[in-house]
Every structure is written in structure tokens, then in C-alpha cells.
Amino acid sequence: MGVLEVFHRLSHLQTGSFAPVKDRGIDVVGYSRRRFVALQIKASKQYFDRYTPRGAEYCYWWEVSRALHREILSENVFYVFVGVHFDLRGRSAIGYDFFIINSLELEKMFADRKFRYDSKNQRWRIEIYLDRNTSRFLSAFDKTCDLTQYHNAWWQITD
């Protein structure tokens, strides 16, 4: 669901895109007049009856494998974290939030422990919530980590 929605958005941004035949961490390759970018797309669901941070309007989570992240780490690799809004009654998607983060920036966030690390499974757990009071997207693990600048930041991959 997330990959198709990203393709849809890229087509409206007049950015070319294609899916690699063999996918090892790269789901979509996009290109503009100036450069190529590789995208790792992660789709999430909202928390329903699970833990939600105090003061959260809603919350998403994703997992990123440490090994795969290190393998694709590059200046032209971006993560697109797709948050899917669900209609709780109909259990259908009614909207999307996109968080577009360069892999090098994400690596710095990992090094600064902005997200929870599961050492047993060697995965980072990225939890982002919309704070009711400030209307900012924050890390549930480190509430000083404001991710609002990455929300719908398509310009990072289309410039």
C-alpha cells in the first residue's frame, strides 16, 4: 500500500520513478532533471488499542533493520515513512502522512539515540506521534526530537 501511494505522489510531482527489478532495500528509484534518488519505503499502521504517548493525537511506528540500513546508507538514499490513517469502523485507509528523511540524517538520529533500539532483533523502532498541544510530530522515545520538518517534505527528493 505504501509503495503504490508513493508512486502516485511522485507522478503528481512530475518526478520520474521506477521499481528496481531486484529489490535489496531500495523500493523505488526516482529522478528529476538534476539527479537520481533511491527510496526505502516503510508503511505503518496507527496504534489502535496499543500504547500511545500522553497528549498524542495519533501515533505511527516502523522498524528499520540495522544491517539493511547500513547496506543502503548513502547521500542519495531517502526513507519514506508512510503513516496510514485508518477509519476505525471500516478499517480502511482514509489518508496518509509521509516523513521523508535522508538516510545520512537518519543515521545521525540513530547515533544520537532519538529512537528505541531493539538489540535482540537489531532493529530501530521509529515511533512518531502528533502532539495535540503543539501540532508537532515528535519521537515517542525522545520527545525533544521534532520530526515536523520531514512531514510531507517531498522537496528533498524532487529538487
Which comes out higher in pLDDT, residue 105 or 46? Answer: 105
**37-41, 66-70, 72-76, 122-126: least confident range:** 37-41
Residue 28 has a pLDDT of: 76
pLDDT band at 67; cut points 50, 70, 90? very high
How many domains is the chain partitioned into structurally? 1
What pLDDT sits at residue 16? 65
- Sort 99 into a burial class: Cβ within 10 Å, 0-12 / 13-18 / 19+: buried
**CB within 8 A of 27, min separation 6: which ones?**
3, 6, 19, 20, 39, 40, 41
Predicted confidence (pLDDT) per residue in 76-90, tens digit: 999 999 988 776 666
| Structural domain containing residue 96 | 2-158
Residue 48 has pLDDT above 60, yes or no: no
pTM: 0.86
- The CB density around residue 73, as the number of other CB atoms within 10 Å, is 14
Strand pairing class (123-131; 56-65): antiparallel
- Give the integer Cα–Cα distance in Å for 107 and 92: 33
Instruction: Between 35 and 79, name the one with better pLDDT.
Output: 79
Mean pLDDT of 25-46: 79
Query: Rounded CA gap, 136 and 139, in Å?
Result: 10
Q: What is the CATH number of the domain that holds 6?
A: 3.40.1350.10
pLDDT digits (tens, 9 = 90+) for 5-23: 776 677 766 666 666 656 6
What's the rounded mean pLDDT across residues 42-59? Answer: 74
Condensed to tens digits (0 to 9), the pLDDT of residues 119-148 reads 999 999 999 999 999 999 999 999 999 999
